[in-house]
């Protein structure tokens, strides 16, 4: 009798278990959407009946207890998880419960942000070791002096500047080479503590916002290698602390604004490869600390202004691939700190001044593809620091020399400059409207 009663009890328990198990079905179509950088919205399809409820958990790693929501009511098919760790990826599951029994859904991995400002914080977490705190907990400007972790970011755009404008103390923002396809937001002007702004080598379009002029603490502004268009805003003249300005390789138009002449702390000015017109401005003389001036590959006209010779600290002068005319000035020899002089691919005429031989620190001299003529001065042999292949005199009108030492010197740096024509060595010509009169007169003498 006792054994029979035990059997009945066991059968009863098993029947209860069977009923419970039959009531449970695995939740299906478990999906998630990131609402904010710390909020996730989950949905699923309820396949069970008479369940006790549901629970959403972060799937734990070995040895780590799970983090779960409170138990949700029966028939629940959605849940909003708040307080998630921002800018991180976690694996989540939803489970249906009946008594002590559960059925677990397939797991999904959820990243709590995909926004530009999220990438900013993520990179700070990964590169600088700061924890996944709220965006407003970014360190102070003192702690950001070495802020270069953003080089590894893969930001897709300036989705929203609203959280970013809370970063009042950020002094360095580097988003170089991140395939950002967007315009520069006007809100950038609210980051007034910025001293270093680097947005180069992206796909930024549209104009440079006038609000850039509000960043009066900026020392470095690098917007190079994008697709920025329109004119350089005059407000840039308000950035009087700037030492480095690089707007090269964009599609900027108009003239070089006179307001840049107010940036008297500039040491580096690069406007290379844009669509700038007009002349080389005479106000350049105001930038007395300038060491690099690069305006190659624009549409500049006029002559080389004499004011340039007052820039006694200049080391690099890039004026190539414009429409400059006139002669190479003799005062060029006064710029004795020059290491790079690019005047190639212009419409320069006349001869090479012998004063160029005074530039004994030159490592690169490029005068090719002009309409220069006459005998190459022997003083050119004073340029003993020219790098191999960096002396370019070819494709002019009638540059020549029958001085064997000059020929040997030039061919040392650029072989085959001198095709043989009798005893006279003449630099090769191109399609310029060149006259042979100087050469003929030389032969007759």
Nearest to 344 by CA among 377, 363, 374, 322: 322
What pLDDT score was predicted for residue 131? Answer: 35
pLDDT score for 152? 36
Spans of the chain, pLDDT less than 50 = 8-21, 114-119, 122-166, 416, 418-433, 436-445
Q: Give residue for tokens 């004011």.
A: 307
Contacts of 11 (CB under 8 A, 6+ apart): none
Euclidean distance between CA atoms 209 and 199, whole angstroms: 13
Residues in a beta bridge with 346: none
**pLDDT tens, residue by residue, 326-340:** 999 999 999 999 999
Contact 350, 434 (CB under 8 A): no
In the three-class reduction of DSSP (H, G, I as helix; E, B as strand; rest coil), residue 166 is classed as: helix
**Number of DSSP helices (H) and strands (E) in the chain, helices first:** 4, 29
The rounded distance, in Å, linking the Cα atoms of 270 and 290 is 11
Enumerate the β-bridge partners of residue 276. Answer: 254
Q: Do domains 2-111 and 116-398 have the same CATH topology?
A: no
pLDDT at 437: 45
What is the predicted pLDDT for the residue at 438? 47
Residue 86 is predicted with a pLDDT of: 62
Q: Return the bridge partners of 93, or none.
A: 57
Q: What's the CA gap between 396 and 51, in Å, rounded?
A: 90
Phi, psi dihedral angles at 257 (to 5 degrees): -65, 140
* Pairing verdict, β 391-392 and 364-366: parallel
CATH 3.80.10.10 assigned to domain 116-398? The reply is yes
Domain boundaries, the chain: 2-111, 116-398
Question: What is the rounded CA–CA span in Å between residue 375 and residue 351?
Answer: 7
Q: What is the model's pLDDT at position 208?
A: 97
d(CA 261, CA 240): 10
CA torsion, ordered 24, 25, 28, 32, to nearest 10 deg = 20
Structure confidence at residue 143 (pLDDT): 29
Per CATH, the architecture of 2-111 is what? Sandwich (2.60)
């Amino acid at each position: 009798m006792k054994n029979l009663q035990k059997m009945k009890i066991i059968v009863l328990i098993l029947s209860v278990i069977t009923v419970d198990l039959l009531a449970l079905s695995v939740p299906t179509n478990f999906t998630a959407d990131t609402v904010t950088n710390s909020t996730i919205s989950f949905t699923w399809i309820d396949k069970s009946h008479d369940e006790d409820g549901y629970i959403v958990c972060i799937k734990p790693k070995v040895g780590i207890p799970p983090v779960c929501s409170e138990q949700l009511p029966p028939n629940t098919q959605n849940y909003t998880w708040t307080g998630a760790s921002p800018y991180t990826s976690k694996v989540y599951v939803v489970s249906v419960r009946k008594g002590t029994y559960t059925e677990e859904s397939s797991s999904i991995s959820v990243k709590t942000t995909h926004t530009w400002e999220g990438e900013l914080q993520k990179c700070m977490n990964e590169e600088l070791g700061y924890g996944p705190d709220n965006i407003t907990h970014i360190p102070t400007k003192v702690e950001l002096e070495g802020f270069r972790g953003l080089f590894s970011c893969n930001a897709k755009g300036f989705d929203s500047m609203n959280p970013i404008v809370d970063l009042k103390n950020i002094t360095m923002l580097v988003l170089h080479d991140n395939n950002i396809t967007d315009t520069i937001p006007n809100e950038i002007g609210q980051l007034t503590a910025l001293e270093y702004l680097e947005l180069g080598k992206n796909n930024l379009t549209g104009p440079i916002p006038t609000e850039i002029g509000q960043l009066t603490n900026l020392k470095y502004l690098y917007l190079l290698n994008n697709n920025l268009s329109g004119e350089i805003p005059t407000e840039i003249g308000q950035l009087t602390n700037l030492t480095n300005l690089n707007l090269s390789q964009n599609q900027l138009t108009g003239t070089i604004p006179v307001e840049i002449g107010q940036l008297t702390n500039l040491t580096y000015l690069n406007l290379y490869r844009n669509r700038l017109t007009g002349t080389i401005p005479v106000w350049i003389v105001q930038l007395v600390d300038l060491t690099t001036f690069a305006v190659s590959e624009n549409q500049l006209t006029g002559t080389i202004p004499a004011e340039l010779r007052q820039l006694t600290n200049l080391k690099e002068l890039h004026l190539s691939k414009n429409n400059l005319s006139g002669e190479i000035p003799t005062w060029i020899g006064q710029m004795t700190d020059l290491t790079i002089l690019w005047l190639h691919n212009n419409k320069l005429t006349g001869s090479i001044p012998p004063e160029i031989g005074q530039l004994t620190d030159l490592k690169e001299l490029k005068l090719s593809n002009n309409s220069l003529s006459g005998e190459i001065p022997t003083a050119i042999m004073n340029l003993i620091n020219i790098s191999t292949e960096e002396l370019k005199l070819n494709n002019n009108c009638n540059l020549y020399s029958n001085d064997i030492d000059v020929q040997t010197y030039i061919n040392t740096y650029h072989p085959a400059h001198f095709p043989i024509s009798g005893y006279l060595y003449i630099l090769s010509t191109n399609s310029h409207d060149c006259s042979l009169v100087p050469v003929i007169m030389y032969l007759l003498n």
